[in-house]
Chain A
Amino acid sequence: MIRFTLNGKPVQLDVAPDTPLLWALRDGQGLTGSKYGCGQALCGACTVHLNGQPVRSCVLPVSAVAGASVTTIEGLASRVGQAVQAAWQKLDVAQCGFCQSGQVMAATALLTSNSKPSDTDIDTAMGGLICRCGTYVRIRAAIHEAARMLG
């Protein structure tokens, strides 16, 4: 039995400890906002927050989050997260949308630690995520827009 805090609520999961957090969330908890894209921490579609830090849930064994706090796109409620989502919508960032949960989570983590990121900061923070639709131009613009909205 693995206990941790999920989107602000305590949970107990009875799954094999080597199960990646992603699959514990998706198949076990029905939280399907985080996506499987590569299974090797190469694309970032599975990005969630572990104690506020962005992590690739597809390679993180669920045993590693015991006692920790996990936030997924479904539980993203911070002021920064809401600004990021508003900016995403305002600039119509998403195309197919499949990677965007991960992009939103990564962007929120970036803006939480750096309220006015430069383009280089954005490249560094977001370079681990892939968008095959090529929404990078708008992701960049939306991060700047969210920074402006947050003042």
Chain B
Amino acid sequence: MTHDVTHHIPEPMLADYAAGRLGHAFSVATAAHVSLCDECRARLAAHEAAGGAVLETLPPEPVSDELMARVMARLDDPAAAPPEPPRPSGIYPGPVMAALGGRPPRWRSMGAGIRQAMLHAGPDGSLRLLYIPPGRAVPDHGHKGRELTLVLQGAFHDETGRFGVGDVEYADESLEHTPVADEGAPCICLAATDAPLRFRGLIPRALQPIFRI
């Protein structure tokens, strides 16, 4: 599946994903974007080529004698095979379906027609789906850390541009913006952060723990 993607994953984030250094929330958003974007699929492959080149030139470290025999003996053991990753479904790429546990999102109302579904909340950040009715603004917010937002349905725009299906908006602490959903279909986004958001409007700070935002 490919779209007219114009906003991509930042280079350092893609490289960190390739090297296995990216936290879970950003990894889901990155893998989901790559599922929708040939450009980033190629860029990721290039980083993996670089990783492979480093691997190839590394001074080998001997492995214990029985390791190869152990692996050879298990080659055709079907019980040892890990499960296949979930397939995409509807607007949700495979990595998002995996984060959803294969089930439809469990939306919770945040007021003003906006809904969210938490997919992951951990020390390395949080991951959620956002549902924004047409023409509605997401509460004005700044960021303590980094935020990556991937559009899965509809579109939104803010001070920095317009974001359609497959586009990602990367925001760091310097960006204060007000995303507004386009007219037409409701906008559904996947939002990954590595720090709690500081909401300004709509939901008082005291209520934030309840909504886990």
A interacts with B: no
Point out residues on A near B: beta carbons under 8 Å. Answer: none
Point out residues on B near A: beta carbons under 8 Å. Answer: none
